[in-house]
């Protein structure tokens, strides 16, 4: 497998989108941000381009002519682990759990700000690079948070906070996936596995405790945000 160095090489984005206004805005905006942009206007075109080119990331609109974005995503996943960000329109009925299950890495809802989209793209690329590394990171740093994995210590603004075992595992999982929605099922499975007993509130209790430790305003969290009905996300940008 060839490894790409995103800092030295231009990142190529496949934009699958059927609305001309979005196509124009994305082409201009993403090119300005230093990305190479390829456009597909429907699902079939997307799969044809995908089969013959190598892309670093795919931005995939859900409502497309001929073929749905979900089918395009499934089809790409059958042959590739390329990061896929799903784009849905406001008010569209979206089964986010299903979307993540079929292999989407993240999603954004229209209308979105270009800045947010670019942050999401960079986040999935960073995550992919990190996952490509053979050795596990011994230390994770993000914003004002730092986790020393081997020593099992965690610092907020340089000050150590005391975490219990499951809290540490939960925060680590969130930090290892910045910007990504982690479903309740995934969090529970990865942190507790078969240890998870009792009611479904256990996860929320742990999240609440983490927020009191790392958030400026635990009741108004900007780090660990709730994705209603789906799970939680560690935010990559504060705004």
Determine how β-strand 153-156 pairs with β-strand 57-61.
unpaired
Please report how close the Cβ of residue 68 comes to Ca ion at its closest, in angstroms.
10
* Closer residue to Ca ion, CB minimum distance, 107 or 168: 107
* Closer residue to Ca ion, CB minimum distance, 62 or 203: 62
Please report how close the Cβ of residue 65 comes to Ca ion at its closest, in angstroms.
8
- What phi and psi values does residue 9 have, to the nearest 5 degrees? -125, 145
Residues 7-26 that bind Ca ion (CB under 5 A): 18
Integer Cα distance of 167 and 172 in angstroms: 8
Q: Does 60 bind Ca ion (CB under 5 A)?
A: no
> Minimal CA–CA distance to 223: which of 171, 150, 184?
171
Q: Label residue 236 exposed, middle or buried (CB < 10 Å: 0-12, 13-18, 19+).
A: middle
Please report how close the Cβ of residue 31 comes to Ca ion at its closest, in angstroms.
21
- What phi and psi values does residue 28 have, to the nearest 5 degrees? -65, -50
Please report how close the Cβ of residue 74 comes to Ca ion at its closest, in angstroms.
18
Alpha-helical runs (H) found in the chain: 20-32, 43-52, 69-77, 96-101, 114-132, 165-175, 184-191, 201-214
Torsion, CA 234, CA 29, CA 109, CA 124, rounded to 10: -30
Please report how close the Cβ of residue 147 comes to Ca ion at its closest, in angstroms.
40
Number of residues that bind Ca ion (CB under 5 A): 3
8 A C-beta contact, residue 147 and residue 171:
yes
What is the Rg, in whole angstroms, of the alpha carbon atoms belonging to the chain? 19
* Closer residue to Ca ion, CB minimum distance, 59 or 210: 59
Out of 37, 41, 45, 61, point to the residue binding Ca ion (CB under 5 A): 61
* Closer residue to Ca ion, CB minimum distance, 92 or 137: 92
Q: Does 66 bind Ca ion (CB under 5 A)?
A: no
User: Candidates 2-10, 59-67, 71-79, 117-125 — which segment interacts with Ca ion by CB under 5 A?
Assistant: 59-67
User: Candidates 23-31, 58-66, 152-160, 217-225 — which segment interacts with Ca ion by CB under 5 A?
Assistant: 58-66
Q: What does 28-43 look like in DSSP terms, one character per residue?
A: HHHHHTTEEEEEESSH
**Phi/psi class of residue 24: alpha, beta or left (left: φ > 0; alpha: ψ in -120 to 50)?**
alpha
Q: Does 98 bind Ca ion (CB under 5 A)?
A: no
User: Candidates 2-10, 55-63, 112-120, 198-206 — which segment interacts with Ca ion by CB under 5 A?
Assistant: 55-63
Out of 63, 98, 136, 205, point to the residue binding Ca ion (CB under 5 A): 63
Chain residues that interact with Ca ion, rule: CB under 5 A: 18, 61, 63
């Amino acid at each position: 497998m060839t490894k790409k160095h995103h800092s030295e090489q231009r990142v190529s984005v496949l934009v699958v989108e059927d609305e001309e206004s979005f196509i124009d805005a994305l082409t201009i905006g993403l090119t300005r941000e230093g990305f190479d942009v390829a456009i597909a206007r429907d699902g079939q075109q997307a799969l044809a381009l995908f089969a013959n080119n190598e892309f670093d990331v795919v931005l995939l609109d859900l409502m497309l002519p001929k073929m749905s974005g979900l089918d395009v995503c499934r089809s790409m996943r059958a042959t590739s682990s390329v990061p896929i960000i799903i784009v849905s329109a406001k008010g569209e009925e979206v089964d986010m759990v299903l979307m993540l299950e079929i292999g989407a890495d993240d999603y954004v809802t229209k209308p979105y700000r270009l800045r947010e989209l670019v942050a999401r793209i960079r986040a999935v690329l960073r995550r992919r690079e990190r996952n490509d590394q053979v050795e596990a990171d011994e230390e994770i740093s993000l914003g004002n948070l730092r986790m020393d994995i081997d020593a099992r210590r965690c610092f907020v603004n340089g000050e150590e906070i005391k975490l219990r075992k499951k809290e540490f595992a939960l925060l680590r999982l969130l930090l290892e996936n910045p910007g990504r929605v982690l479903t309740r099922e995934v969090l529970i499975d990865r942190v507790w596995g078969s240890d998870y007993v009792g009611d479904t509130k256990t996860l929320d209790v742990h999240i609440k405790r983490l927020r009191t430790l790392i958030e400026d305003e635990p009741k108004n969290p900007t780090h660990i945000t709730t994705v209603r009905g789906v799970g939680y996300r560690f935010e990559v940008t504060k705004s």
